[in-house]
A = this chain, B = another copy of it.
Amino acid sequence: MVLPTWKDVDEARERIAGVAHRTPVMTCGAIDREAGARVFFKCENFQRTGSFKFRGAANAVASLSPVERVRGVITHSSGNHAQALALAAKLHGVVATVVMPENSVSVKRRATEGYGATVVSCAPTLAAREETTAHLIWETTATFVHPHDDAHVISGQGTAAWELVSEAGFLDLVLAPVGGGGLLAGTALAVRHLLPNARVIGCEPSGADDAYRSLKSGTRVTELVPDTLADGLRTILGEIDFAIIKSEVFDIVRVADEAILAAMRSIWERMKIVIEPSSAVAVAPLLDGSLGASGLRIGVILSGGNVDLDRVFSADWTAKLHGH
């Protein structure tokens, strides 16, 4: 297993420049006061397709050989990676196929198709997903782009932290959510090279704490029945991801769903930006004081903003509309 290094992140940076957005770094006095620290938020909710996933996908597609480009790319995902790969492929004139469980939210399916990908349905089991994908790879010889356990993808995700550090300057701590581990691994590669004294901390939902348990035990935990509202983080930590995280990440902290929801609300309310629950996981440890980060300069990767607004707008507002 050849692990990517900071050099791969640096190359990814050049490869995706002009394709991925250079997202803003935002600060907020009210949040700083609450956290007792100076916090720099890297706003990947403003990234194309609404999450950092576009960086990794864009780097993977831009790294294809001419023959691979002709054969296309394929992945299985029902989340942000599907849309990210679909758009990245479209922008490079590459055909993309996405295998999605048939019970996926229809808005995500439509969004992925909207970016030009072919969506293939399968039964809602991991076995069916992998089998369908394997069959399609055999048929089309398309290149499989894993959502997180892939050197190009990890390197691409690391470019967000690279931009964050180049804009914010010295940081004591950098926080990133961890699900499959691509973002956390890429973040660690970038930060540990640019700021050797900074500590990178992964933030994980308590209800999907396989990365936490893997880091503590030293062995990758592959059994998990996720139970968290942070839908982007219900994934098992990947092999390459774990190898990097084990050597470069200082610690992983666990966050309860109540704290995730409270942090999400704080960001919406104070900063007036929409972030998804998975992003809030990296905010919560600052707000509840559990991190002991008082007085520090802290970077936070806000990973995305793809929230199911049906959940928001179906409620009281619409009721109010129809007879207040």
Interface size class of A (residues with CB under 8 A): 20 to 34
Q: How long is the Cα–Cα vector from A134 to B229 in the complex, in angstroms? A: 52
Among A272-324, those with CB < 8 Å from B are: 272-275, 305, 309, 311-318, 320-321, 324
**A48 nearest CB neighbor, chain B only:** B29
CB distance from A105 to the nearest CB of B (A): 14
| Chain B neighbourhood of A324, CB < 8 A | 229
Q: How long is the Cα–Cα vector from A311 to B324 in the complex, in angstroms? A: 14
A229 touches B317 (CB 8 A): yes
Q: Which of B229, B269, B274 contacts A321 (CB 8 A)?
A: B229
A317 touches B274 (CB 8 A): no
Q: How long is the Cα–Cα vector from A45 to B271 in the complex, in angstroms? A: 9
| Chain B neighbourhood of A305, CB < 8 A | 272
Q: How long is the Cα–Cα vector from A318 to B311 in the complex, in angstroms? A: 10
**A28 nearest CB neighbor, chain B only:** B46
The answer to whether A46 and B317 touch (CB under 8 A), given A229-B324, A309-B265, is no
| Chain B neighbourhood of A24, CB < 8 A | 24
A313 touches B272 (CB 8 A): no
Among A243-282, those with CB < 8 Å from B are: 257-258, 261, 265, 268-269, 272-275
| Chain B neighbourhood of A321, CB < 8 A | 229, 257-258, 261
**A324 nearest CB neighbor, chain B only:** B229
| A182: interface (CB < 8 Å) | no
| A50: interface (CB < 8 Å) | yes
Q: How long is the Cα–Cα vector from A149 to B272 in the complex, in angstroms? A: 28
List residues of A whose CB falls within 8 A of some B CB: 24, 45-46, 50, 229, 257-258, 261, 265, 268-269, 272-275, 305, 309, 311-318, 320-321, 324
13 A-B pairs whose Cβ atoms sit less than 8 Å apart in the complex: A45-B272, A46-B272, A229-B320, A229-B324, A261-B313, A265-B309, A265-B313, A272-B273, A272-B274, A272-B305, A311-B315, A312-B317, A314-B315
